[in-house]
Amino acid sequence: MSKLTLTKAKEILAKHTTEEHLFHHAAAVSAAMGAMAEAYGEDKEHWAAVGWLHDVDYEKYPDEHCHHVREFLEPEAVDEEDIKAIISHGYGITTEEAQPASNLEKSLFAVDELTGIIQAYALMRPERMEDMEVKSLKKKYKDKKFAAKCSREIINLGVENLGMELGDVMKHCIKGMQEHHEEIGL
């Protein structure tokens, strides 16, 4: 099995997903994961590819999310380690199968929901992602009514598991999402 590439991840997701908002979310998480990889000195494209594929089973199985990842990705010769990483982002939410352990897994768990808050904030700003600051994002983050479907509890747990400060994770996510704002639809 070869290392998962972003090109391959995009091909695979396109086979199982049709909804535009899911592609925008995939792009956002992919961008954030690429920035997290840079922060850890890891393979940016590989982490971005895992981020792109993280919701591969969501459109077809929204109520069983993360339970069908393996059946979608094994036939595509995706590494077991990457399959486990993708399943682990649902740990304690949709599955108990794989607790996030590696920096890649912990990062995916932390940034998935956080990118939703960043996207929502960008959509209300005339300049979208441009010049977004952590300080102003944190204000929105503290408002429980803002992007209410994005669980602060999950984000906080993910950030805690990473052993990072929330502001640092936000900074990385903003940076990654700014670099890919067009693909994200912002």
Per residue in 160-179, pLDDT (tens digit) is 999 999 999 999 999 999 99
At position 106, the amino acid (one-letter code) is K
Residue 1, pLDDT above cutoff 70: no
Those residues whose C-beta lies under 8 Å from the C-beta of residue 27, and which sit 6 or more positions away, are 52, 180, 183, 184, 185
% of the chain exceeding 90 in pLDDT: 96
pTM of the model: 0.96
Per residue in 77-136, pLDDT (tens digit) is 999 999 999 999 999 899 888 899 999 999 999 999 999 999 999 999 999 999 999 999
CATH code: domain 6-184 is: 1.10.3210
